[in-house]
Chains A and B, each alone.
Chain A
Amino acid sequence: MSRRTAIGLAVVPALFLLAFFVWPVASILATGLVEEGGKAFTRVLTNERLLGVAWFTLWQAVVSTVLTVLVAMPATWVLARFDFRGRSLVRAVATVPFVLPTVVVGTAFLALVGPSGVLGVDLHGTVWAILGAHVFFNIAVVVRIVGGVWGHLDPRLEDAARSLGASPWQTFTRVTLPLLRPALAAASSIVFLFTLTSFGTVLILGGPRIATVEVEIYRRSALFLDLPAAAVLALLQMVGVVAALTAYSRYQERHTVEQTLRPVQETARRIQTGRERGLVAGILGGTGVIVIGPPLVLVWRSLTAGGGFGLQAYRALRSDALVPVGAAVGNSLGFAVAATLIALGVGLPAAVLIAARRGRISRWFDTLLMLPLGTSAVTIGFGFLIALDSPVDLRASRILVPIAHALVATPFVVRASVPVLRAVRGRLREAAATLGASPARTFREVDLPIVSRVAAVGAAFAFAVSLGEFGATIFLARPGGPTIPIAIYRFLGRPGVLNFGQAMALSVLLMAITAAAIMAVERARFPGPGAF
């Protein structure tokens, strides 16, 4: 790839990031440091309530992370080590919570453990509901990341430990766990970041008393209009995120172990004894209840909200006077399409560039593109709010919502595309060339089908992210133009059984639309026979 092409590819993503990420973040920095003559920092750092919020944010994230790992490990073990019918189905089901919008998760937990929850205990406004939702939401992260490595660990290392006199537990702590440490660190740091910057679930489940830094940024800026304090909180949170990421990469450097990974077919074994069968069934059953329970309860409660069994709550959605549900659905779909197009327009050129060039600039570019992922959605929304009034005041424009969504979705597009594009660049093109294909034919028959498939996966990701996005949207959506998550939040904010029913019904609807988008991803990723 020539230098000119590279620069051409870099222009759009670079300008996009500059305008919609670097500039807003710089504005937050300026607001926090400059306004009030820099006194905002001392004001925040001496405010006991805000320090309490910061402390709560930190410890709930640590506890959520530890709990998630503990709850997810047994199922991770079973899925990584045993070969049984329906294994891939179980793995897919375990991923379900992760793709649910946070607002849907919050609503589902209200239906489960809210004021009139089916479990009969009201945990609304307690940390327990938040921890439960965090564990539910993040199990898939551990199952996917840790399981991905565990499934490839050489089982003979464990056999060797047993033959050297180690009991099963000693084998786990002295061999398996040390080998899984890097994967566990990766999964834990992702869960930690997600729960540290958790917004939608905390806003819905925390009630008036409990808040995380993320929720407090929202309240300070959108409700109390105390922008300097909100900016200081956003900065503190960014520092926390960077510190966590740095600690993680240090740890990873120190503890990564070179090891031979085995294909999954060699490491998984059949269930041998009745005791094993019982154990596997117990673990999968228990995890299954945790993973499928909340969405099922949500669906069930949405159907019984009006008293009897039926679609009353769904019908009430059509004629609500205060929340324009039809408009919300239209907005969500429209924004999702726009956000998808923007994310592809920004992400694909960037991915092509990163895949084609290996060098410092390419790596730097890669990191820059990932930054929005480590920045909380609320920070992005807040940044847009204070930054994008000059030179052109974009704040009144509807385009800000899909741009914010695209900012969150672009890293997904890049991450999904780069490995595939690298593969095309190398082996496949060489293979095509040795088979006698001209460069034009190679592009037409090898590059193009693969790039379009990559684009399809990225598009579906971006679509799903946009549909569920809440943290940035709550700043940017105008009163008359809510998205589905915003509409759900408004229903939840109004008292009454029917409003809660409508919130649940709309959540089910959003869940269904998201599921359709995710299924499109899976279909694009695993092409059937003859697909290409």
Chain B
Amino acid sequence: MLELRDIAARFGQLEVLAGVCLTVGPSEIVAVLGASGSGKTTLLRVVAGLHRPESGTVVWEGHDLAATPPHQRGFGMVFQDFALFPHLDVAGNVGFGIPDMPESEKRSRVSEELERVGLAGYETRRVGELSGGQAQRVAVARALAPRPRLLLLDEPLGSLDRAFRRELAADLRAALRSAGIPALHVTHDPDEAFAVADRIALLHDGTVIRFGPPELLWRAPGTEAAARLLGLTTIVDVTVNRDGIHLGRGEGRRARAIVREEAVRIAADGAVRGVVEDSTFRGPGHALRVNVPGGEITLVHHERVEPGQTVGLDIPQEGFALLDG
């Protein structure tokens, strides 16, 4: 089990991590979700031993790793843009970290790892000839080949096409599961975190503001910052009283709440009136930006509505999720 206790780190003058606490259990996959520049990569580099933390400890199975250099930690890492060795072929890359053993054994070990990621027979390919998705798989195979105790993944899907990512995220999870290796995976993409992780840690302003299973975080993000990291960006002012949650300022307790876009319907007799700000065609329908009391709501509607028009909206109570503070 990996434990991070109060990790603080600087990058020059800039404080990027200010007391991060995290745990990764046996064969658990934890995703760290944070905006770009939030110190996610630095956190991984601290765990790998490539960056010295200002303070705090990295603990593995009860042992403090402060004095253990990176190559003795037994933590594999998959880098953003993969960092494949350009002077070696695919087999050379995958075999790089495999400890000394007879050549034939090593070769079969490399084949085995390539098979696991679905690239059987790619041994003699040159790294420069691989597509983005293939390079990502080689990077995963290379990191898994020495049988690391923990795998660190730095935005491993970040540089790939969107369409690809879902598929590869599922494959990645399957590969990690089959290897039985715990993983710490950092990303800025909530979909990727949901697809891969058992638990998600939300990194904001250098600390973990929420840590839990994806469903729980989705249902109750807690703070506005957490909600935005999870991709829940329709946030409005509401009033809470005995009748429930209402848009805008009224009688009762004032609060901020997420509006679940998928729960909102346009209905002529809707209780809420809003003015359409703009309407953009988006495949399955038209994305409408509607100005309502307390803020703006984005929703997808099956037909175009001219900007400036007033519409009625029906928002059920379960369409709201209250935020703290």
Contacts and interface: CB of A to CB of B under 8 A. Distances in A.
Given A156-B81, A170-B71, 12 more contacts: A156-B83, A159-B50, A159-B79, A161-B96, A162-B50, A163-B71, A163-B143, A165-B72, A166-B96, A166-B97, A175-B85, A175-B87
Given A258-B86, A259-B86, A167 B71 contact: yes
A434 interface: no
Contact of B152 (A163, A167, A171): A163
7 contacts: A156-B79, A156-B83, A159-B70, A159-B83, A163-B50, A163-B152, A270-B12
B274 interface: no
A160 B83 contact: yes
A122 interface: no
A211 B314 CA distance: 98
A273 interface: yes
A166 B71 contact: yes
A179 interface: yes
Contacts of A270: 12
Interface in A162-181: 162-168, 170-171, 174-175, 178-179
A272 interface: yes
Interface residues of B, number: 29
Interface residues of A, number: 26
B166 to A, nearest CB: 26
**5 cross-chain pairs, A with B, having the tightest CB-CB distances, nearest first:** A164-B97, A163-B77, A259-B86, A162-B70, A156-B83
A154 interface: yes
Contacts of A154: 83
A428 interface: no
A184 B87 CA distance: 15
Interface of A: 154, 156-157, 159-168, 170-171, 174-175, 178-179, 257-260, 270, 272-273
Given A165-B146, A258-B128, A160 B85 contact: yes
A41 to B, nearest CB: 44
B76 interface: yes
B231 interface: no
A193 to B, nearest CB: 26
B76 A179 contact: no
A164 B50 contact: no
Nearest to B52: A272
A259 B87 CA distance: 8
Interface string B79-102: 111010111000000001101000
B37 interface: no
A178 B92 CA distance: 13
Contacts of A175: 85, 87
B74 interface: yes
A174 B76 CA distance: 18
B260 interface: no
A165 B74 contact: yes
B48 A159 contact: yes
Contacts of A273: 52
Interface in B1-30: 12
B83 A179 contact: no
Contacts of A159: 45, 48, 50, 70, 77, 79, 83
A161 to B, nearest CB: 7
A167 B99 CA distance: 12
Contact of A164 (B81, B86, B87, B143): B143
B211 interface: no
Contacts of B142: 160, 164
Question: Which of B72, B74, B77, B152 is the most central at the interface, judged by chain A CB atoms within 10 Å of its CB?
Answer: B77
A272 B51 CA distance: 9
Contacts of B74: 165
A272 B12 CA distance: 9
B86 A257 contact: yes
Nearest to A167: B71
B148 to A, nearest CB: 8
B89 to A, nearest CB: 11
Given A174-B96, A272-B52, A163 B75 contact: yes
Q: Which interface residue of A168, A258, A272, A273 has the most chain B CB atoms within 10 A?
A: A258
B83 A165 contact: no
Nearest to A154: B83
A156 B48 CA distance: 12
B71 A157 contact: no
B79 A162 contact: no
B101 to A, nearest CB: 13
B97 to A, nearest CB: 3
Contacts of A167: 69, 71
Contacts of B75: 163
